[in-house]
């Protein structure tokens, strides 16, 4: 299929020419805190789960997020097969987009806010290694990503956001699929780097910039794996690699630690905002947060960006 660009789509990229937009934070840990157990994307298939997802979206909107990601991080065929949910891929992704739209409509109606607010179709990794490191062929990866991307585009997302990829070849497969689903919709892709600025598969942050931009991405960057303090060096490397690129960064709320038998993250909202304020000299286009973050983290980031 080949979607045409909607007004919201082109508006998003236009805004990023002059302003920073704020994305949201973690979904999985927020679902858990609201009493949902099980595979996070399965929440999109039941009324009680959808209500929790909408509530999380609303919390991020109230915190100041402009971009809300769909609850579809693991909603590709390869991941869903592991949970015998691959036959529900259309419903899971379609319902997730609807949940964000409902949350935005409710927020704007009740708060009198008119945004800008955008729906980002979230596409996560397949959970399998591509050849030659693994057994999954590149073409199989494209096909797996394509089915999800098509549903997200058909459901009316404003942006496709490929995230948490550790292999540049898997990223390229996802980008190819996204561009086959729509040649025009804004496309972002973020890799996950270690503290040394290199992915698990050996891809350097500074090298990934040109590769991803040349492949058809509008926005590129980094997310997950490390905290906001450590990600600063990756921010610098990616900006120096391309002075004009639109960049997105979504660090974890620090590193996970075990406390009283539970996994917690060690960056408070105040600490994360303090660190992210240092990103601003490198002119990012989108800032959000990843694992362990909460609406309180996003609210602090909004304050940090607003006071620059």
* 188-203 tens-digit pLDDT: 999 999 999 999 999 9
What is the largest distance, in Å, between two alpha-carbon atoms of the chain?
53
Name, in order, each residue with C-beta under 8 angstroms of 303's C-beta and a sequence gap of 6 or more: 273
**How many structural domains does the chain have?**
1
| CATH code for the domain of 164 | 3.20.20.330
Task: Please give the residue range of the domain that contains residue 34.
Answer: 8-303
The predicted pLDDT at position 9 comes to 58
Regions in the chain scoring below 50 on pLDDT: 1-7
| pTM higher than the cut 0.75 | yes
Q: Return the half-sphere exposure (C-beta side, CA atoms, 13 A cut-off) of residue 41.
A: 28
The verdict on residue 308 lying in a domain is: no
The verdict on residue 80 lying in a domain is: yes
The verdict on residue 39 lying in a domain is: yes
The verdict on residue 3 lying in a domain is: no
Q: β-strands 118-123, 246-252: how paired?
A: unpaired
The verdict on residue 123 lying in a domain is: yes
Neighbours of 37 (CB within 10 A): 9
The C-alpha atoms of residue 205 and residue 260 are separated, in whole angstroms, by 36
The predicted pLDDT at position 52 comes to 98
The predicted pLDDT at position 5 comes to 36
CB contact at 8 A, 182 and 1: yes
Strand partners, 159: 120
For residue 282, give the 3-state DSSP assignment.
helix
Strand partners, 265: 256
The verdict on residue 276 lying in a domain is: yes
The predicted pLDDT at position 8 comes to 59
């Amino acid at each position: 299929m080949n979607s045409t660009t909607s007004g919201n789509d082109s508006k998003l990229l236009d805004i990023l020419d002059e302003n920073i937009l704020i994305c949201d934070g973690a979904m999985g840990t927020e679902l858990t805190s609201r009493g949902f157990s099980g595979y996070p994307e399965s929440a999109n298939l039941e009324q009680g789960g959808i209500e929790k997802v909408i509530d999380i979206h609303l919390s991020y909107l109230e915190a100041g997020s402009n971009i809300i990601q769909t609850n579809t991080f693991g909603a590709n065929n390869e991941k869903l097969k592991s949970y015998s949910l691959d036959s529900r891929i259309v419903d899971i992704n379609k319902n997730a987009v609807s949940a964000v739209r409902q949350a935005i409509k409710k927020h704007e109606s009740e708060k009198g806010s008119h945004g800008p607010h955008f729906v980002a179709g979230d596409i996560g990794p397949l959970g399998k290694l591509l050849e030659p490191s693994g057994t999954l062929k590149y073409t199989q990866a494209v096909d797996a990503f394509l089915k999800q991307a098509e549903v997200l585009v058909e459901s009316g997302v404003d942006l496709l956001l490929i995230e948490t990829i550790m292999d540049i070849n898997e990223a390229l497969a996802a980008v190819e699929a996204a561009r086959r689903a729509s040649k025009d919709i804004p496309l972002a892709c973020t890799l996950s780097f270690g503290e040394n600025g290199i992915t698990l598969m050996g891809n350097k942050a500074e090298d990934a910039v040109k590769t991803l931009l040349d492949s058809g991405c509008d926005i590129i960057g980094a997310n997950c794996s490390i905290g906001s303090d450590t990600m600063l060096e990756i921010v610098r490397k990616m900006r120096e690699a391309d002075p004009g690129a639109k960049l997105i960064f979504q660090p974890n709320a620090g590193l996970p630690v075990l406390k009283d038998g539970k996994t917690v993250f060690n960056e408070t909202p105040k600490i994360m905002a303090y660190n992210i304020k240092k990103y601003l000299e490198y002119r990012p286009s989108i800032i959000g947060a990843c694992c362990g973050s909460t609406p309180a983290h996003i609210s602090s980031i909004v304050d940090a960006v607003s006071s620059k």
